[in-house]
């Protein structure tokens, strides 16, 4: 075998493990070695080699018995937003310093139940708020792709997950996506990332950012891996009231590569002013690929698209301002040192001032403002109405027979770390312009690497599917992936 | 069935220094839902547990935890709504009420501001026979209780107990239809009675399982009627809310104080400030807690962790079909079926257990007699001993047995009381105990006649007097019964004495 074990895909590893070509312990060992050599990427913020080896041994036993689900023995990275029992988890925030969850999130519990191996916790933007992984209390994760020796962002908020998968530190990683946090980093790092339909994957045990938008999903090297990975994550959970009691189909079996007669919509409103020519060209190329595969390309309109970003940046902070109220220094996490005479108000103020970073504070303040008396109707309620209109836009397009929608994932390739430091925060928010609509409408969306830009950096296209039709969406993505033939890997510099 | 109709009571009038004033009162009752588990978690609601022992990860607001509605609490709210003849909203929703306090781990209370589960209903509050206030219910919503902060355990630190955190409450909001302190207390009593009949709240006020926020304002006579005709609150005075009252007595005292305070302000040319106040029972006064300006901005918004609560009419119908008989209906039935007085019917229906006890005694017997015995003998004795009806040493069956012996003429009323006493202390079957103790009233007419003849023969003077004044015949009856050792049947003796004296 010419490939090193850690650079295998999940599907390759699954098959190799089942054939006995190598063991889960060997595979895990290869990943642990790769991780130890990749501290410069800042992807893993908490390594769990002991757990990994133990789980790999157990996986080998299951494999030997022939009782091995697809993910048995597959080493994964877990975004720091997922609570994993007995392993520190702090959502990349100082306010959760020292927090040790006594429970296992539904997603990780399903993954480990299927025999997956946990390599450690992955870097992210603080509380999943950000598009560059620079708001992390651990410092930024770094993109394994570089141009001109410039250090680039892997995107955010699931930047550590994207970086780790792209650099072959793990075979797949969990991500979460509230406004694009799986798809944008996937696009920036040349991997596949899928945000499932809202309600497809349980949110229980995942630190909440914006509850009505948050959705966990897989980040992997190929569409097939993404399908296998999603299979293990998805399903109804009685502990999450927003989780849907809908059967989970066989996602991998849906990858037929046949999309003949399918209708792919190209939304004209996504042709944003100032879209770089490279992005526009990639988009057109993607449409051609799908047409060549037998799909019909149709021009569609999603008229309320321009209001999506403002609506998102009202709704998400509103929910966040409430969701993050529990970090008050009373029960767990950071509590500020108090001065003589300080009361409960000082405890709150000092604890939260010290514990939260600038971007989190900004969103808490925005969210508090838009929910406050006198502004609620003008901001929050109006944003909810816009959200309903955006959802209706999609409903109408799908009702018109469109099977999937093709857009760019991001307005640009990965940018340099620190480049946005002095920019208006809105410049950073613009990263989400093509992805937030999907969260607002609760739809499934997937980013597939399709090409490189002139600087040799990966670019992705996004496919948006009908609700609950991840299987069909994955098949469209599979066709796009095959046609694009994206095989480039970042040169190892770390 | 007897239909009870009422006239409205007169509103309470308070004479100020210058004018007459009326009171306008609305109440928000927080009733803890009777349920083994909390509203959004599986943790126990049992009282008296070690601090922080009934706390789930959800209650403690650990990161990533999510609420899941307890269906039984929803059922209890629906049952309560039906009990208050209220509209049940098949679609309701939960909202977050945001504020910071250590006993509120989430940093928000999950409540129902915009779409409550229960809509408009009514409570009939009796203020005397045939007189009652119809208090309209505006809404009932479900919400979480907070925990308990403890400030007196340590000089520099506060502690918090989350056992109560997340326990389900029903907030029952009335319209401002209550017109005096007595009505306010009677409203709480009636609501508590209904909730206890329904089994949806135990009504334990000492434990804080039923507490009231009381909104009080004052107005000049005639203004309230204008409000009622138009629904325009500007006809009424500015209201103050007295928080967290858990005693009927304090509710009355606080309202009275607060009304007089407001009257004094207005008569002095001032104006009442809308604010939240607390009642201090030691000083019998209300004190400002926070003004409208200082009021929290709770930033209510729909809880994104919970989908709108949708229930089906068939489910509501099923709950309705299993509704117990409620106090008003039971009272009407007791009056109609058993011929009870309004007063006796009220006393016997005040508590469901007492009503059931009475009914078991009265079934197939003389209802009025059963009521007399339950109220006078049984309740009297229970009160004396400080016992609840459920702790009564004499069962309904035993009491019924006593009444049967009386009815058959086997024992006299006096004997029945003695028998009751014996059963209370020693227990046993009434008929067997009566037989064993030789309690048997003589109905052998021959023996009674002989005794009557003997007494008449021995007291010729009394015979003459009695003939002149028939009322004195009772003296002979008494003598005969005494001579029989109390066993002669008084009715039989009575008849014979009258006959022998030629009356």
Query: Using the beta-carbon criterion (under 8 Å), do B305 and A205 form an inter-chain contact?
Result: no
The answer to whether residue A330 is domain-embedded is: yes
B301 strand-pairing partners:
B96
- Domain-embedded: residue A439: no
Q: What is the pLDDT of residue A430?
A: 85
Average pLDDT over residues B261-279: 95
| Complete domains list, chain B, with CATH | 13-305 (no CATH), 325-436 (no CATH), 445-500 (1.10.10)
Residue A329 and residue A251 share a domain: no
Note whether B69 contacts A: Cβ–Cβ < 8 A. yes
To test the contact with chain A by mutation, choose from B299, B308, B309 the residue with the greatest count of A C-beta atoms within 10 A, namely B299
* A310 and A249 assigned to the same domain: no
Burial of residue B368, with CB atoms counted within 10 A of its CB: 0-12 exposed, 13-18 middle, 19 or more buried: middle
Residues in B touching A331 (Cβ below 8 Å): 60-61, 105
> Which CA distances in Å does A34 have to A28, A29, A118, A172?
10, 9, 14, 14
Per-residue pLDDT of B113-161, as tens digits, reads 999 999 999 999 999 999 999 999 999 999 999 999 998 999 888 899 9
**pLDDT-based confidence at B443, cuts 50/70/90?**
low
First-last CA distance in chain B: 44
Question: Residues B220-245: what's their mean pLDDT?
Answer: 95
Helices (H) and strands (E) in chain A, counts: 15, 11
Residues of B in contact with A376 (CB under 8 A): 299-301
B327-362, pLDDT tens digit by residue?
999 999 999 999 999 999 999 999 999 999 999 999
Output the pLDDT for position A280. Answer: 95
Residues A48 and A121 in one domain: yes
Chain segment B309-320, per-residue pLDDT in tens: 999 999 999 999
A169 assigned to some structural domain: yes
Containing structural domain, residue A325 = 306-381
How confident is the model over A32-91, as pLDDT tens digits?
999 999 999 999 999 999 999 999 999 999 999 998 999 999 999 999 999 999 999 999
pLDDT at A134 over 50: yes
pLDDT for the residue numbered B293: 66
Q: How many angstroms separate the CA atoms of B153 and B277, rounded?
A: 26
Token readout for B471 is 């009322």
Q: What percent of chain A has pLDDT over 70?
A: 100
Q: Do A325 and B107 make contact, defined as CB atoms within 8 angstroms?
A: yes
Q: What is the mean pLDDT of residues A409-417?
A: 96
Per-residue pLDDT band for B366 (boundaries 50, 70, 90) equals very high
Q: Which residue has the higher pLDDT, A45 or B2?
A: A45
Residue B407 is encoded by which pair of tokens?
């009815």
The mean pLDDT value of chain B amounts to 93
Structure tokens at A30: 């290869």
Nearest CA in chain B to A367: B299
Biggest CA pair distance of chain B: 100
A→B interface, C-beta within 8 Å: 82-83, 89, 91, 96, 99, 101-103, 105, 203-208, 210-212, 238-242, 318-319, 321-322, 324-326, 328, 330-332, 344, 348, 368, 371-373, 376, 380
CB atoms within 10 A of CB A433: 22
Q: Count interface pairs A-B at CB distance under 8 A.
A: 98
Instruction: State whether residue B16 is helix, strand or coil.
Output: coil
Residues of A in contact with B300 (CB under 8 A): 371, 376
Interface touch B297/A373, C-beta < 8 Å: yes
Position A269 scores a pLDDT of: 95
Q: Quick check: B482 pLDDT over 90? A: no
Nearest to A425 by CA among A206, A125, A92, A186: A125
Do B304 and A330 count as a contact with CB atoms less than 8 A apart? no
> Do A35 and A97 share a structural domain?
yes
| Interface residue of A82, A209, A331, A442 to substitute, partner B, most B CBs within 10 Å | A331
The mean pLDDT value of chain A amounts to 96
CB pair distance less than 8 Å for A322 and B57 = no
Task: Tell me how far apart the alpha carbons of residues A39 and A41 are, in angstroms, rounded to a whole number.
Answer: 5
Task: Give per-residue pLDDT as tens, A434-474.
Answer: 999 999 999 999 999 999 999 999 999 999 999 999 999 99
For residue A213, which phi and psi values (nearest 5 degrees)?
A: -120, -25
Q: Which residues pair with A446 in a beta bridge?
A: A194, A463
Report chain A residues whose CB lies below 8 A from the CB of B102. Answer: 328, 330, 344
Contact between A330 and B108 using a beta-carbon 8 Å cutoff: no
| Per-residue pLDDT tens over the stretch B4-35 | 689 999 999 999 999 999 999 999 999 999 99
Give how many domains chain A has, as a whole number: 2
Cβ-nearest to A211 among B98, B106, B304: B304
Q: What pLDDT, on a 0 to 100 scale, did the predictor assign at position B495?
A: 81
To the nearest whole Å, the CA of B164 is away from the closest chain A CA by: 16
- A245 to chain B nearest CA, in Å? 13
Judged by CB atoms closer than 8 Å, whether chains meet at B107 and A322 is answered as yes
A360 and A249 part of one domain: no
Question: For chain B, what is the radius of gyration of the CA atoms?
Answer: 30
| Residue that wins the pLDDT comparison between B470 and A207 | A207
**Which pair of tokens denotes residue B329?**
């209906």
Give the contacts of A21 (CB within 8 A, at least 6 positions apart): A1
Catalytic residues of A: 79, 157, 181
Label residue A1 by pLDDT band (50, 70, 90). very low
Q: Are residues A189 and A253 in the same domain?
A: yes
Within a domain: residue A316?
yes
Q: Residue B463 — very low, low, confident or very high, per pLDDT cuts 50/70/90? A: confident
- Kindly determine whether residue A101 and residue B305, on different chains, have CB atoms separated by under 8 Å: no
Task: Mark which of A366, A381, A396 sits at the end of a domain.
Answer: A381
> At which residue do the structure tokens 């409550």 appear?
B116
Q: pLDDT of B168-180, one tens digit each? A: 999 999 999 999 9
Buried-exposed string A26-61: b where 16+ CB fall within 10 A, e elsewhere: bbbbbbbebbeebeebbbbbbbbbebbbebbebbbe
Does the predicted interface ipTM exceed a cut of 0.90?
yes
Q: How many CA atoms lie within 13 A of A187 on its CB side?
A: 34
Q: What is the pLDDT of residue B413?
A: 86
State whether B62 and A103 contact (CB < 8 Å): yes
Task: Report the distance separating Cα B298 and Cα B369, nearest Å.
Answer: 58
**In A, which residues are within 8 Å of B157 by CB distance?**
none
Q: Which of A109, A176, A326, A364 to mutate to test the interface with B (most CBs of B within 10 A)?
A: A326
CB contact under 8 A, A330 and B102: yes
The pLDDT of residue B498 is 81
Instruction: Spell out which residues of chain A touch residue B305, defining contact as CB-CB under 8 Å.
Output: 208, 211, 241-242
Question: Which chain B residues touch A102 with a CB distance below 8 Å?
Answer: 57, 62
pLDDT score for B461:
85
B319 touches chain A (CB under 8 A): no
Smallest Cα distance from B266 to chain A, Å: 30
Tell me what percent of chain A is helix, strand and coil, each rounded to the nearest 5: 40, 15, 45
Q: How far is A212 from chain B (nearest CA, A)?
A: 5
Q: Which H helix or E strand runs over A481? A: helix A470-484
Q: Is residue A84 part of a domain?
A: yes
Residue ending a domain, among A381, A411, A439, is: A381
* Predicted local confidence at residue B292, as pLDDT: 66
- B158–A326 C-beta distance less than 8 A: no
A-chain residues within 8 Å CB-CB of B57?
Answer: 102-103
- Nearest Cα residue in chain A from B109: A322
* Residues A440, A311 contacting (CB under 8 angstroms): yes
Interface of B with A in 35-64 (CB under 8 A): 57, 60-64
Residue A444 lies in a domain: no
Check residues B405 and B467 and name the one with the higher pLDDT. B405
Q: Which residues of B touch A324 (CB under 8 A)?
A: 107
Distance from CA of B294 to the nearest CA of A (A): 13
Does residue A67 sit within a domain? Answer: yes
User: Could you report the per-residue pLDDT of A195-247, keeping only the tens digit for each?
Assistant: 999 999 999 999 999 999 999 999 999 999 999 999 999 999 999 999 999 99
The whole-number pLDDT of residue B2 equals 56
B309 interfacial to chain A (CB closer than 8 Å): no
Residues of A in contact with B67 (CB under 8 A): 241
In the predicted structure, residue B225 carries a pLDDT above the cut 50: yes
pLDDT of B1 higher than 80: no
Q: Of A326, A357, A381, which residue constitutes the final position of a domain? A: A381
Residue A196: which CATH number?
3.90.1300.10
Domain contains A491: no
């Amino acid at each position: 075998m010419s490939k090193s074990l850690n650079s295998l895909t999940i599907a390759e590893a699954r098959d190799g493990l089942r054939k006995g070509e190598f063991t889960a312990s060997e595979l895990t060992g290869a990943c642990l070695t790769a991780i130890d050599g990749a501290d410069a990427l800042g992807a893993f913020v908490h390594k769990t080699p002991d757990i990994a080896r133990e789980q790999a041994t157990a996986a080998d036993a299951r494999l030997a018995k022939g009782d091995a689900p697809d993910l048995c023995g597959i080493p994964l990275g877990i975004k720091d937003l997922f609570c994993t029992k007995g392993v520190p988890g702090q959502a990349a925030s100082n306010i959760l310093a020292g927090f040790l969850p006594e429970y296992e999130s539904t997603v990780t519990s399903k993954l480990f139940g299927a025999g997956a191996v946990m390599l450690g916790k992955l870097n992210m933007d603080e509380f999943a708020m950000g598009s560059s992984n620079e708001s992390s209390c651990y410092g930024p994760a770094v993109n394994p792709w570089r141009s001109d020796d410039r250090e680039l962002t892997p995107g955010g908020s699931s930047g550590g997950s994207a970086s780790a998968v792209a650099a072959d530190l793990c075979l797949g990683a969990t991500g979460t996506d509230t406004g694009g946090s799986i798809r944008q980093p996937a696009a920036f790092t040349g991997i596949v990332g899928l945000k499932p339909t809202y309600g497809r994957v349980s949110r229980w045990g995942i630190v909440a950012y914006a509850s009505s938008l948050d959705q966990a999903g897989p980040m992997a090297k190929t569409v097939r891996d993404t399908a296998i990975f999603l299979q293990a994550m998805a399903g109804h959970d009685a502990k999450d009231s927003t989780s849907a009691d809908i059967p989970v189909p066989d996602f991998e079996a849906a990858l037929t590569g046949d999309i003949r007669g399918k209708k792919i919509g190209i939304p004209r409103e996504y042709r944003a002013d100032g879209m770089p020519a490279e992005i526009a060209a990639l988009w057109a190329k993607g449409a051609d690929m799908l047409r060549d595969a037998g799909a019909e390309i149709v021009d569609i309109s999603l008229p309320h698209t321009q209001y999506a970003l403002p609506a998102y940046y009202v709704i998400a902070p509103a929910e966040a301002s409430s969701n993050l109220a529990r970090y008050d220094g009373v029960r767990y996490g950071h509590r500020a040192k108090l001065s003589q005479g300080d009361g409960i108000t000082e405890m709150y103020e000092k604890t939260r001032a010290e514990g939260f970073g600038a971007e989190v504070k900004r969103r808490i303040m925005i969210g508090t403002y838009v929910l406050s008396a006198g502004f609620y109707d003008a901001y929050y309620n109006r944003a909810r109405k816009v959200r309903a209109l955006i959802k209706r836009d999609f409903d109408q397009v799908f009702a018109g027979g469109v099977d999937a929608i093709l857009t760019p994932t991001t307005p640009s390739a990965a940018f340099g770390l620190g480049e946005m430091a002095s920019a208006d925060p809105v410049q950073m928010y613009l990263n989400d312009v093509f992805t937030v609509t999907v969260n607002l409408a609760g739809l499934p969306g997937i980013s597939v690497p399709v090409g490189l830009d002139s600087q040799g950096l990966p670019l992705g296209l996004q496919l948006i599917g009908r609700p609950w039709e991840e299987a069909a969406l994955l098949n469209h993505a599979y066709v796009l992936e095959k046609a694009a033939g994206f095989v480039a890997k970042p040169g190892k510099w770390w | 069935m007897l239909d009870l109709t009422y006239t409205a009571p007169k509103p309470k009038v308070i004479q100020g220094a210058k004018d007459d004033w009326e009171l306008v009162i609305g109440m928000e009752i927080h009733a803890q839902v009777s349920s083994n588990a909390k509203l959004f978690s599986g943790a126990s609601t049992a009282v008296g547990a070690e601090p922080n022992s009934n706390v789930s990860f959800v209650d403690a607001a650990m990161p990533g935890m999510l609420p899941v509605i307890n269906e039984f609490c929803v059922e209890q709210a629906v049952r309560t709504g039906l009990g208050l003849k209220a509209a049940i909203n098949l679609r309701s929703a939960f909202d977050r009420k945001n504020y910071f306090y250590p006993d509120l781990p989430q940093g928000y209370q999950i409540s129902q501001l915009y779409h409550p589960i229960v809509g408009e209903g009514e409570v009939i509050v009796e203020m005397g026979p045939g007189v009652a206030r119809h208090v309209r219910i505006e809404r009932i919503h479900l919400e979480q209780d907070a925990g308990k902060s403890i400030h007196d355990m340590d000089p520099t630190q506060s502690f918090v107990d989350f056992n109560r955190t997340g326990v389900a409450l029903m907030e029952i909001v009335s319209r401002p239809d209550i017109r005096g302190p007595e009505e306010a207390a009677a409203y709480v009593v009636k609501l508590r009675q209904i909730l206890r009949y329904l089994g949806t709240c135990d009504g334990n006020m000492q434990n804080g399982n039923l507490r009231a926020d009381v909104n009080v304002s004052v107005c000049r006579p005639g203004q309230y009627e204008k409000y009622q005709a138009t629904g325009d609150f500007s006809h009424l005075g500015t209201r103050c809310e007295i928080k967290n009252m858990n005693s009927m007595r304090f509710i009355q005292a606080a309202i009275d104080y607060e009304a007089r305070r407001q009257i004094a302000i207005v008569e002095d040319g001032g104006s009442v400030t809308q604010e939240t106040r607390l009642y201090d029972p030691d000083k019998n006064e209300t004190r400002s807690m926070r003004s409208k300006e200082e009021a929290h901005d709770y930033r209510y918004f729909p809880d994104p962790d919970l989908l709108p609560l949708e229930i089906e009419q068939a489910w509501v119908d099923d709950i309705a079909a299993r509704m117990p008989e409620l106090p008003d209906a039971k009272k009407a039935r007791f009056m109609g079926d058993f011929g009870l007085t309004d007063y006796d019917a009220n006393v016997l229906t005040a508590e469901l257990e007492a009503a059931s006890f009475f009914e078991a005694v009265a079934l197939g017997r003389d209802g009025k007699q059963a009521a007399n015995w339950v109220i006078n003998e049984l309740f009297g004795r229970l009160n004396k001993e400080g016992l609840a009806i459920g702790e009564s040493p004499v069962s309904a069956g035993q009491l019924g047995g006593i009444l049967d012996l009386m009815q058959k003429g086997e024992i006299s009323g006096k004997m029945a009381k003695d028998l009751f006493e014996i059963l209370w202390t020693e227990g046993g079957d009434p008929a067997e105990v009566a037989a064993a103790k030789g309690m048997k009233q003589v109905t052998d007419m021959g023996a009674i006649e002989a005794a009557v003849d003997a007494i008449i023969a021995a007291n010729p003077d009394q015979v003459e007097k009695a003939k002149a004044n028939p009322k004195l015949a009772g003296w002979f009856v008494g003598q005969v019964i005494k001579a029989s050792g109390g066993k002669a049947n008084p009715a039989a003796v009575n008849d014979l004495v009258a006959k022998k004296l030629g009356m």
